[in-house]
Chain A
Amino acid sequence: MKKFTFRGGIHPLHDLHEGKEVTRMQPIKPYVPQSVCIPVNMHIGAPSKSIVAKGDHVLLGQVIAQAMGGIGIPVHASVSGEVTEVAQKQMLGTVPSTCITISNDGLDTWTTLAPLGNVEQAAEDRIIPAIQAAGICGMGGACFPTHVKMSPPADRKIDTIILNGAECETFLTADFRLMVENPGRIVDGLRAAMRAMGVSRGLIGIEDNKPEAISAMQQAAQGRLGVEVKVLKTKYPQGGEKQLITALTKRQVPSGGLPCDVGVVVLNVATAAAIADAVIEGKPLISRVTTVAGAVKDPGNLLLRIGTSFHDAIEACGGYIETPGKIFAGGSMTGNCAPDDSVSMTKANNGIVVLNEKDAALTAESQCIRCGRCIQSCPAYLNPYQMHVTYALGKVDELEKQHVLDCIICGACSYVCPAHRYLTPAFKDAKDLITARRASK
């Protein structure tokens, strides 16, 4: 079978495996906490506006924060119970966010739902509004509102929807488990998206280290109009949006452009499943599968309510077995570090990984030996060596000419560097600087 891939990339290893072996055979287990604390700014764009107050009683799936503007999405209660606090809290982001704390009454009383029914029969024009109403955003990590992604400018003709089942990040097996255990839902979601956008081709890209997921998805895709499973080579960052598009369509997203510029929309497999839930059952996005791994007693895959604290999720996996030195949301290449374990699970949170103090320790840089590994690994075909020299000289304009804005912050160059230079952090800093400068102009 033909295996698709991109040029560049790496094979990250943690303790001589990708960190996935521990959890890949752990079935998804639901976990419901005593209380949830839901931030209103989980998605990219204007934060939603809280419409509940302390003491209010809310039902499961009830809107607790309204979408602001056309590209916003609402936030829903992920448990039924009483609102105990609406306050500013430090979450995963750099600025504190408004968070709604709900004490769980344990009843899971659903609010009234308005399902559209079977994905092949639902009215096409009602699907995208239903996705917005369900508060769905990219669940692969970026959390960009899905209905916006699915409504490209009129002059962009979309011919392909790609479902991202690559899960190339280390440690994570949440998408893998979802594909193995609930492949039908994912294909339903893809079909709903295809019909809503009038697209006839739907590809599902899965890395070849997930044979169980490939066969499950192939089975589920059988007889479904325009749906095809494509096998990808196992390589990081195969699941990077641009890399995935290039691997499967040979098209390159133009610099500074979006996938829709080359006629493609990419959705994560978990996002597709959430779309199916919203269309078929009218259920908003209130839970997701997350891999809890690293220095915890029983690493596994949990179906967690949005707003569950990292602490509760880790306790549900038997708690810490070592003093934690670092906890991050996502995989070890691009994961977001948590300041402490009180932060909440968001819609984008596909993993919670705990590193012990030794693995979390800062590594010292040594002199660059010009081995060129950074260059060979870069999936954006940049020159990290040169960019890092320029960064050290503080020449931001020069960095822009060296295309630092095309860096996808995948971490591949930093990972392979034998001198352990802090490459990716430098490029992230430079990108932030340039973006901020442009915004202030």
Chain B
Amino acid sequence: MTLRVSTGPHILTRENTQTLMLDVLIALAPATAAGIFLFGLRAAWVLCVAVVAAVVSEYAWQKLMKKSVTVHDLSAVVTGLIIGLNMPAGAPLWMPAIGSIAAIILVKQLFGGMGHNFMNPAMVARAFLLASWPARMTTFLLPERLLGSTQASLGVDIISGATPLVSQKLGISSGVPLSDLFLGNIPGSIGEVCKIAILIGFLYMLVVKAISWHVPVFFLGSVALMTWLIGGDPLVALLSGGVLFGAVFMATDYVTNPMLRVGQAVFGIGCGLMVVIIRSWGAYPEGVTYAILFMNCLTPLIDRFISRKVYGMVKKNA
């Protein structure tokens, strides 16, 4: 009889990195489906290229560097999909490819691979593309089809495809009904427009406990509160641009947000503040990407300075 002898625990959770990433992919499915429905086949191609480029570059890098190949953990698929969902449907197909390669090689692998990147790879990729090809990254298509039976309100003054946020920035009321903001009948990035799909994904991740509610709720709460304080409409602020998508799918990236709940609250509030500051006083109409990247950089500091009291740190004989 050969028995293995070890320290406990002798059973482990069935969860692993792959199952967690699969949960994120399932949560992204509604937003992906809505994006393809709204923007048509072109959107599907953008997503496809982004995912394939991410997986292939991770595989190639690990082979080249003679590291064990870990593409089966699905993290590259998630990164690629999120990059694609952050792009306008009309982007030329080389753009998602470049974004994914930059995310995987520059941000993830060069810093040591899974778990070692200090910024969210998909976010850096988006910032990189935005800085390199600002016009192409902000030319948004109108949805080809509409969700729900709303009036054809899209037309007239947004033929150019300016997002509601751009209109606001220019001091024009976008005049888009809240229901259209909610359903996604607006120009924007593939994955960020349909808010209801994002919320379904959020709920799914909460139910299967893939993420906790702290980061998204503090993020969105601080956006709403700040917007209200400076005299804006909190609901429009939450339903415009990439705030919801960013709060649910990008700020919640395990690797780049703090580990303690209190730290996560600080992180979320900081993201919200930055978004409102950039939207209101910055040069860009939207600030989710930079807000999250900024807070990613603060994460090590937050983790360092926010700690909790260890059990038993009480006065003896109290």
- Nearest residue (CB) in B for A8 is B311
Q: Is B66 close to A, CB under 8 A?
A: no
- Tell me the complex Cα distance, A40–B294, Å: 63
Chain B residue total in the interface (Cβ 8 A)? 45
Q: Is B9 a contact of A370 with CB atoms below 8 Å?
A: no
Q: Is the interface of A mostly helix, strand, loop or mixed?
A: loop
Q: Is the interface of B mostly helix, strand, loop or mixed?
A: loop
* Complex interface: chain A residues within 8 A of B311 (CB): 242, 246, 252, 255, 379-382, 406
* Complex interface: chain B residues within 8 A of A419 (CB): 16-17, 115
* Complex interface: chain B residues within 8 A of A328 (CB): 8, 10
Q: Is A254 a contact of B316 with CB atoms below 8 Å?
A: yes
Q: Is A253 close to B, CB under 8 A?
A: yes
Q: Is A411 close to B, CB under 8 A?
A: yes
Q: Is B7 close to A, CB under 8 A?
A: yes
Q: Is A170 a contact of B11 with CB atoms below 8 Å?
A: yes
- Tell me the complex Cα distance, A286–B120, Å: 61
Q: Is B159 close to A, CB under 8 A?
A: no
Q: Is A360 a contact of B313 with CB atoms below 8 Å?
A: no
What's the minimum C-beta distance from B301 to chain A, rounded to whole angstroms? 14
- Tell me the complex Cα distance, A341–B7, Å: 18
Within 8 A of B (CB), among A396-441: 403, 406, 409, 411, 414-420, 424-425, 428
* Complex interface: chain A residues within 8 A of B280 (CB): none
Q: Is B3 a contact of A414 with CB atoms below 8 Å?
A: no
Known: A368-B115, A372-B259, A380-B312. A341 touches B1 (CB 8 A): yes
* Complex interface: chain A residues within 8 A of B308 (CB): 381
**Pick the contact of A370 from B19, B113, B254, B318 — CB < 8 Å?**
B254
Q: Is A212 close to B, CB under 8 A?
A: no
**Pick the contact of A369 from B1, B7, B114, B316 — CB < 8 Å?**
B114
Q: Is A340 close to B, CB under 8 A?
A: yes
Number of A-B residue pairs at CB separation under 8 A: 162
Known: A368-B115, A411-B8. A420 touches B16 (CB 8 A): yes
Q: Is A334 a contact of B8 with CB atoms below 8 Å?
A: yes
Interface size class of A (residues with CB under 8 A): 35 or more
* Complex interface: chain B residues within 8 A of A370 (CB): 115, 254-256, 259
Q: Is A324 close to B, CB under 8 A?
A: yes
Q: Is A28 close to B, CB under 8 A?
A: no
* Complex interface: chain A residues within 8 A of B15 (CB): 416, 418
What's the minimum C-beta distance from A387 to chain B, rounded to whole angstroms? 11
Q: Is B7 a contact of A382 with CB atoms below 8 Å?
A: no
Known: A341-B1, A360-B4, A418-B17. A369 touches B254 (CB 8 A): yes
Q: Is A121 close to B, CB under 8 A?
A: no
Q: Is A256 close to B, CB under 8 A?
A: yes
Q: Is B313 a contact of A255 with CB atoms below 8 Å?
A: yes
Q: Is A403 a contact of B1 with CB atoms below 8 Å?
A: no
Q: Is A255 a contact of B312 with CB atoms below 8 Å?
A: yes
Within 8 A of B (CB), among A229-278: 242, 246, 252-257, 261
- Tell me the complex Cα distance, A27–B201, Å: 47
**Pick the contact of B13 from A256, A409, A418 — CB < 8 Å?**
A418
Within 8 A of A (CB), among B279-318: 307-318
Q: Is B254 a contact of A381 with CB atoms below 8 Å?
A: no
Q: Is B69 close to A, CB under 8 A?
A: no
- Tell me the complex Cα distance, A403–B310, Å: 8
Q: Is A252 a contact of B314 with CB atoms below 8 Å?
A: yes
What's the minimum C-beta distance from B315 to chain A, rounded to whole angstroms? 7
Within 8 A of B (CB), among A294-353: 324-328, 332-335, 337-341, 353
Q: Is A391 close to B, CB under 8 A?
A: no
Known: A252-B312, A383-B307, A385-B259. A337 touches B11 (CB 8 A): no
- Tell me the complex Cα distance, A361–B13, Å: 14
- Tell me the complex Cα distance, A411–B7, Å: 9
- Tell me the complex Cα distance, A382–B310, Å: 6
Q: Mark B217-261, 1 if CB is under 8 A from A, else 0.
A: 000000000000000000000000000000000000011101111
* Complex interface: chain A residues within 8 A of B73 (CB): 366
**Pick the contact of B5 from A256, A339, A361 — CB < 8 Å?**
A339
- Tell me the complex Cα distance, A391–B311, Å: 20
Within 8 A of A (CB), among B3-32: 3-17, 19-20
**Pick the contact of B315 from A254, A371, A415 — CB < 8 Å?**
A254
Q: Is A355 close to B, CB under 8 A?
A: yes
Other A-B contacts than A255-B313, A418-B16, A419-B115, 17 sampled, CB-CB below 8 A, are: A13-B13, A242-B311, A252-B314, A326-B4, A359-B11, A360-B10, A362-B4, A367-B113, A369-B75, A369-B255, A370-B256, A375-B260, A382-B310, A415-B9, A415-B12, A418-B15, A419-B17
Ordered by A's residue number, 18 sampled pairs between the chains whose C-beta atoms are within 8 Å are A12-B9, A257-B312, A334-B9, A338-B3, A353-B10, A361-B4, A363-B12, A367-B113, A367-B115, A369-B254, A372-B259, A383-B259, A403-B310, A406-B312, A418-B16, A419-B17, A420-B12, A428-B7
The 8 closest A-B pairs by CB, nearest first: A411-B9, A372-B259, A255-B312, A337-B5, A425-B7, A367-B114, A371-B254, A380-B311
On B, residues with C-beta under 8 Å from A are 1, 3-17, 19-20, 70, 73, 75, 113-116, 212, 254-256, 258-261, 307-318
